[in-house]
Amino acid sequence: MFPITNIHVKDNYQTTIEFFALRTPHPPAQGATTSDRANTDDSASRGRILTPVQIRSDKLTRGRASRRRKTDAGQSAERRTGSNGACSPQPRPDPPPSTVAAVRSELEATRNELARSQADAAKIAERYRMLERTLKETTDALRAREKEVETLREEKEQLMADHRSALAMTMEEDVAPVKGLEVFLTKTDSWSGAQVIEAVQDLNSEILQLAAAATELSTVDRQIKVPRSRIVQATKEMASGLGQKFAQILSARDHSHDLNLIQFGMQACITMYTARLLSVFCIGLPAMPNDLLTQVFQRMHATEPQATSSRWRSLTLHHIRALYPRLQENAVNDFVDNIVRGCIDIFTLCYCTNADVSLTSKDALKARFGSQIRHIAHAACKVAHITKEETMSTNFEIVIAEQSKPFDQTAMINAFAGYDVAGGSVLATTELGLRCSTRKTAKLSSFGPGGEIVERKTLLQPKVILETVAQLLDRSASDTDV
């Protein structure tokens, strides 16, 4: 039968340290023999040879508690057995040397590992303290940077506010001189297109009335004596104004039975001088500066926006009149003189006479028709002022047909449209026409990019007589006689 102590000690250890701990000598139980105490002393002497080992407290605590319970139970059983006179416990066997060496090696490795762990822990603690200092320094630097950024932001906002204020003041100072010009550039037209057309039609009516009044005053007498030199001079003057063809018709034809050509001649002469008065850049200005300013305006109108060219012309004319206030008055006087000379030339070529008024006298014609001619001149100046200074959206032009040009029914009106079916070339213009040209921005299309274009539109076609007018009048006279 095995001893009771061996039953309780067997397999109660988990490590080598516990193995030796369980073999620590216990005090002899009551009733033990001398041999038992000797065995116990030997075990104690062997146990003192072993070096005490530091073990894990949690496992040892659990192991001690378990062994204490088992030992107490075993001692109780041994006491009961000894008191009953049972057999004594057998001695424990000594651990083999290899086990002791393994335990020592494991202990040494554990010590080394513990030393390394402690060194690593010290390094980690030192690194932690260093990182903590670095974090604090970084936090302080970040706070300082944030404060600096906030200060810079406030300075920037202040500078931006100052800049905006200074810019606003500068813009106000720069815009102030332009405000008057802005009002000038955005000025609307004083007259509409319909009003301008009506003004030109009224001007044509006054020209027709003057021509009719002068024609009614005259009587044709081919028997009167007119110096040959005067006929040649009058023919030359009329050829330079109305064309050689019209001058020949007036001088060669007998107008005693039909005064229509005389009236057409008067009407064409007044229309020609009125068109010249309206076609110049500035009425009354000499020809050379007028031509120069006209070229400047035409180039500006072709390259600049419509409002820019129109405002420039209006402003230029305004200052020219301010510098030379008598230009228009001089132009009106010249217009009257030209009309009177033209009427005298026509009366001379057609052998016209009057018992009360000398039709070849400049003073007599001025006294008779001077006020009427001046009225036409002032009406023409008013039309020029409206179209050149009071109209900004477009550019109005007075139009007359070119002499000897083929008749174009889309651009002009035949005065004998119901009679002259064959047509022909233009002999003279008897009524003024009106055309407008506007610079606009063309829209984009599939054919190409858009751009600036000049749109031209005829508002009032000029009225003309053709070179066949003499044959037409002869045919009409023969039909009347029949």
pLDDT score recorded for residue 45 = 44
Tokens matching residue 242: 């109305």
260 pLDDT band (50/70/90 cuts)?
confident
pLDDT band at 462 (very low <50, low <70, confident <90, very high): very high
Long-range Cβ pairs for the range 4-9 (8 Å, 24+): 4/74, 4/77, 4/78, 4/81, 4/89, 5/74, 5/78, 5/89, 6/89, 6/90, 7/74, 8/70, 8/71, 8/73, 8/74, 9/70, 9/74, 9/92
Q: What is the Cα–Cα distance from 10 to 442, expressed in whole angstroms? A: 114
H or E element in which residue 413 lies: strand 413-414
Q: Which of 310, 272, 297 is nearest to 187 (CA)?
A: 310
Please name the residue that has the structure tokens 């550019």.
395
- Which of 18-32, 163-177, 246-260, 286-300 ranks highest by mean pLDDT? 286-300
What span, in angstroms and rounded, lies between the C-alpha atoms of 373 and 269? 12
pLDDT digit string (tens) for 407-448?
888 889 988 876 755 568 899 999 999 999 887 766 544 554
Q: How far is CA 143 from CA 139, 150, 156, 163, in A?
A: 6, 10, 20, 30
| Sheet bearing 413-414, strands edge to edge | 413-414, 463-466, 426-431
Q: Which residues lie closer than 8 Å to 143 by C-beta, 6 or more apart?
A: none
* Residue 319: band (very low, low, confident or very high) from pLDDT cuts 50, 70, 90: very high
**So where are the chain's domains?**
4-95, 187-481
Greatest mean pLDDT among 50-64, 329-343, 442-456 lies in: 329-343
Residues in the chain: 482
- For residues 392 and 310, the answer to whether their CB atoms sit within 8 Å is yes
Q: Is the pLDDT of residue 149 over 50?
A: yes
Give the strand order in the sheet containing 395-399. 395-399, 433-441, 452-460
Rounded CA-CA distance 56/476 in Å is 150
The per-residue pLDDT for 318 is 93
Predicted local distance difference test score (pLDDT) of residue 257: 80
Kind and range of the H or E run holding 332: helix 327-349
pLDDT for 79: 53
* Tens digits of residue pLDDT in 82-129: 444 444 556 666 777 888 888 889 999 999 999 999 999 999 999 999
**3-state class of 210 per DSSP?**
helix
| pLDDT for the residue numbered 467 | 85
pLDDT tens for residues 1-48? 444 444 444 444 455 555 555 555 544 444 444 444 444 444 444 444
What b-and-e string marks burial along 267-278, b requiring 16 or more CB atoms within 10 Å of the CB? bbbbbbbbbebb
pLDDT of residue 283 exceeding 90: yes
Among 151-165, 196-210, 451-465, the minimum mean pLDDT is found in 451-465
